[in-house]
């Protein structure tokens, strides 16, 4: 065993070309499980010597530790990089015990549940075991465990936990996708004069995350008070009915605040109960009919633990999004079928939207709107042309003329228009080489305007001629783009920031001209397309949305 920190450092310098292997992290995590009296504990002259010896000598093969949630090789490299940068000496602990930074981190990890996280993921049991120790060997372990906890904590609260992306990269591509440099994480934390404040700034500070955090606290209080009792499943209940289950519904809705009426023991489905059911349906994104059918009954019977997990998962989703949403900004919530324009923490514009249907799911990402196209062409995506446009034309030769769709021999600006009858569609093997373009007009699938933020998904916001679909509670009908119920209101807000001459009258004039017009934006508005099945409104009220894409189950499987 190496005797001094200098000797350990020299030995390490000779080992740098060797594979690091699954060494330090395995042993460190195992130490969280072993009692120091089991023979693995050792006492050193200084804590620095203990840290250096620990990093040099613990091996995964001897300790036999394994974990499914830790990438040992990556964690090994991170630990080596950090402690090598700082001279293989203790970073957080002295002979007098944990310092100011260690105490701040310990407090954050201890209270991880407040953020919808689990303290055990940050080695809290081991931190607690060694926290009051005076043994140099145990204090050296505490120091390295604190480093592990810090790196994990900072990454998790800044960009989200990585395992959702590892399990389902196609669904959770942004989870943990921007891991920070471990050396920078440690250096920045060590330099902070207010370590607790520094850790707090890494969390999302906007009202959406903070609102969910407060809601999580309220639902945990409900859980401590035994939550609510389920309502027996049976036939649909309507206003005017008498049924023993109405008593249970009154009690259930009293717990979460929708029902505040009298006669808690009445079995009559009266106006007060109907009003409470309507409010409950509004909070859960259900059809607001005041009737307790299968969907409403299922929502009533979700347990308080179900709600807690849902809130925690949606707090996690917010950690994937840039924490600075920018002001002003657009939020498109796919699960809530809703768009908001937020400025100075106030909702300035809000409208219903239509999102991608299942298997044409709208993606999750952030960008900036660069321009508005009035009376746009619709360049039909090749997949839609192949599977929808061409089959319709083959059944109905007048389809393209009636819908004002023209065909060109390529996608370039100088492409020639073709006669669709001149193409042998029965034998055409590559229909994607043709551009199908729909002219501006009331028939156009994009309506009167679209809002463009060029992205790899070819997704944008746009108008639609099919406004009757906005009256439905569930609105997943598109091929991935976002259809707007009131696009002119969004255009008016954006253009007011860029060019005051473009007021509502000017917008209407351009639309009425039926001419394609592009208006570039100097002040580009941030747009965040999100997926929130639990969220709070501007007044802090919690709402829940149906899991339209079935993502909650998969996210739950990766987090719990």
pLDDT digits (tens, 9 = 90+) for 123-175: 899 899 999 999 998 999 899 889 989 999 999 999 999 889 989 998 899 99
CB atoms under 10 Å from CB of 291, counted, come to 18
Q: How is residue 418 written in tokens?
A: 């073709």
Of the pLDDT bands very low, low, confident and very high (cuts 50, 70, 90), residue 110 is very high
Task: For Cα atoms 287, 288, 291, give the angle at the middle one, nearest 5 degrees.
Answer: 95
Tokens 């959406």 -> residue: 208
Query: Mean pLDDT, to the nearest integer, of 441-446?
Result: 92
Mean pLDDT of the chain: 88
Query: Mean pLDDT, to the nearest integer, of 409-438?
Result: 84
Tokens 């009692």 -> residue: 35
With 50 as the cut, is the pLDDT of residue 184 above it?
yes
Q: How is residue 479 written in tokens?
A: 């091929």
pLDDT digits (tens, 9 = 90+) for 497-512: 999 899 999 999 999 9
With 80 as the cut, is the pLDDT of residue 474 above it?
yes
Backbone φ and ψ for 258, nearest 5 degrees, come out as: -75, -35
Provide DSSP, 195-237.
Answer: HHHHHHHTS--SHHHHHHHHHHHHHHHHHHTT--PPPPP-S-B
Of the pLDDT bands very low, low, confident and very high (cuts 50, 70, 90), residue 340 is very high
Distance, CA of 198 to CA of 365 (rounded, Å): 27
With 90 as the cut, is the pLDDT of residue 68 above it?
no
Give the single-character DSSP code of 388. I
Q: Tell me, what's the pLDDT at 3?
A: 37
Element (H, E) at 371: strand 365-374
CB atoms under 10 Å from CB of 279, counted, come to 18
> In sequence order, which ranges of 119-204 are alpha helices (DSSP H)?
124-131, 136-159, 163-167, 182-191, 195-201
Distance, CA of 385 to CA of 174 (rounded, Å): 31
Q: Tell me, what's the pLDDT at 28?
A: 43
Element (H, E) at 294: helix 294-300
With 70 as the cut, is the pLDDT of residue 469 above it?
yes
Q: Tell me, what's the pLDDT at 261?
A: 80
Query: Mean pLDDT, to the nearest integer, of 444-471?
Result: 94
Q: What's the pTM value of the predicted model, to 2 decimals?
A: 0.87
Beta-strand runs (E) in 256-360: 329-333, 338-343, 346-356
Of the pLDDT bands very low, low, confident and very high (cuts 50, 70, 90), residue 51 is confident
Of the pLDDT bands very low, low, confident and very high (cuts 50, 70, 90), residue 2 is very low
Flag the least confident range among 59-68, 337-346, 542-551. Answer: 59-68
Distance, CA of 543 to CA of 283 (rounded, Å): 5
With 70 as the cut, is the pLDDT of residue 517 above it?
yes
Q: Tell me, what's the pLDDT at 72?
A: 60
Q: Tell me, what's the pLDDT at 371?
A: 97
Q: Tell me, what's the pLDDT at 135?
A: 92
pLDDT digits (tens, 9 = 90+) for 270-290: 999 999 999 999 999 999 999
Of the pLDDT bands very low, low, confident and very high (cuts 50, 70, 90), residue 42 is low
Contact 90, 14 (CB under 8 A): no
Query: Mean pLDDT, to the nearest integer, of 508-537?
Result: 95
Q: Tell me, what's the pLDDT at 125?
A: 92
């Amino acid at each position: 065993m190496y005797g001094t920190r200098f000797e350990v450092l020299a030995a390490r310098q000779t080992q740098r070309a060797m594979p690091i292997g699954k060494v330090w992290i395995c042993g460190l995590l195992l130490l969280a499980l072993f009692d120091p009296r089991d023979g693995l504990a050792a006492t050193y002259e200084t804590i620095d010597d203990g840290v250096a010896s620990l990093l040099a000598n613990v091996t995964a093969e001897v300790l036999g530790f394994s974990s499914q949630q830790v990438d040992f090789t990556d964690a090994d490299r991170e630990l080596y990089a950090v402690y090598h940068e700082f001279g293989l000496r203790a970073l957080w602990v002295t002979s007098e015990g944990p310092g100011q930074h260690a105490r701040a981190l310990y407090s954050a990890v201890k209270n991880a549940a407040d953020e919808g996280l689990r303290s055990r993921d940050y080695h809290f049991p081991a931190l607690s075991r060694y926290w009051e120790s005076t043994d140099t060997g145990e204090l050296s372990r505490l120091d390295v465990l604190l480093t592990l906890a810090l790196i994990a904590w900072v990454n998790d609260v800044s960009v989200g936990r990585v395992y959702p992306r590892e399990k389902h990269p196609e669904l959770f591509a942004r989870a943990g996708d921007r891991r920070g440099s471990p050396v920078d994480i440690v250096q920045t934390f060590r330099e902070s004069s207010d370590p607790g404040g520094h850790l707090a700034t890494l969390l999302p500070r906007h009202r959406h995350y903070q609102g969910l955090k407060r809601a999580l606290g309220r639902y945990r209080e409900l859980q401590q008070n035994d939550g609510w009792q389920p309502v027996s499943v049976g036939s649909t209940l309507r206003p005017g009915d008498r049924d023993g289950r109405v008593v249970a519904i009154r009690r259930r809705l009293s717990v979460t605040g929708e029902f505040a009426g009298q006669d808690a023991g009445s079995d009559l489905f009266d106006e007060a109960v109907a009003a409470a059911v309507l409010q409950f349906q509004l909070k859960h994104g259900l059809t607001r009919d005041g009737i307790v059918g299968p969907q409403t009954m299922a929502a009533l019977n979700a347990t308080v633990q179900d709600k807690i997990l849902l809130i925690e998962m949606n707090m996690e989703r917010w950690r994937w999004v840039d924490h600075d949403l920018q002001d002003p900004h657009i939020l498109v919530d796919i699960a809530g079928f809703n768009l908001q324009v937020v400025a100075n923490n106030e909702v300035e514009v809000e409208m219903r939207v239509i999102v991608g249907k299942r298997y044409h799911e709208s993606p999750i990402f952030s960008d900036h709107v660069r321009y508005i196209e009035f009376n746009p062409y619709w360049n039909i995506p090749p997949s839609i042309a192949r599977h929808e446009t061409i089959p319709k034309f083959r059944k109905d030769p007048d389809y393209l003329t009636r819908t004002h769709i023209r065909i060109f021999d390529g996608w370039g600006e100088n492409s020639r228009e073709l006669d669709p009858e001149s193409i042998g569609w029965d034998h055409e093997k590559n229909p994607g080489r043709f551009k199908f373009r729909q002219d501006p007009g009331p028939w156009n699938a994009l309506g009167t305007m679209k809002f463009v933020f060029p992205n790899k998904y070819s997704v944008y916001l746009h108008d639609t001629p099919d406004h009757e679909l906005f009256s439905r509670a569930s609105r997943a009908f598109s091929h991935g783009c976002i259809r707007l119920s009131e696009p002119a209101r969004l255009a008016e807000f954006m253009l007011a920031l860029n060019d005051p001459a473009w007021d509502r009258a000017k917008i209407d004039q351009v639309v009425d001209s039926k001419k394609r017009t592009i208006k570039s934006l100097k002040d580009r508005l941030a747009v965040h397309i999100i997926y929130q099945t639990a969220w709070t409104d501007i007044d802090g009220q919690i709402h829940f949305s149906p899991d339209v894409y079935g993502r909650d189950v998969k996210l739950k499987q990766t987090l719990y």
